[in-house]
Structure 1
Amino acid sequence: MNYPNFSEEIPWTEEAKIKYKNIPFYARSQARQTIEELARTEEVEEITAELVMRAQQKFGK
């Protein structure tokens, strides 16, 4: 799959990238920033599909 440039700082799992791709195109840039910010706040080692879903819920999809 062709994905946008994901953070080199925190790796994304393939499942997380698939969940991200389901976010409407117009909201992806902001969503990616929000997801990566949440990951840094929670000090996780990788961005998972579960983290993407929690970020969507937290910020109203």
Structure 2
Amino acid sequence: MEWTDDAKTLFKKIPFFVRPFAKKKIEKLAQEMGATVIDEEIYVQAKAKFNDPKKSGELK
């Protein structure tokens, strides 16, 4: 899956030890949305979804 430069920059803010897991989760969400490119908007949506404390078992 392709990532825009803006999305890559945001992704680098994730702690390095969480990145592999986060990348899989973000790319899976993008696929479910029918996206072929991960841009800043998709990244922000994924972050909001995975940081929602009401969703147990999600990436925090």
| TM-score class normalised by the smaller sequence | 0.7 to 0.9
Q: 5+ residue gaps in structure 2? A: 52-59
The number of residue pairs the alignment matches comes to: 52
Q: When you count strand as a share of all residues, which structure comes out higher?
A: 2
Counterpart of 1:39, as a letter, is: A
Show structure 1 runs of 4+ deviating over 4 A: none
Q: Indicate the structure with greater helix content.
A: 1
Q: State percent identity of aligned pairs.
A: 38
Q: Which runs of 5 or more structure 1 residues have no equivalent in the other structure?
A: 1-9
TM-score, normalised with respect to structure 2: 0.77
Q: CA-atom RMSD, angstroms?
A: 1.1
Q: Which has the larger radius of gyration?
A: 2
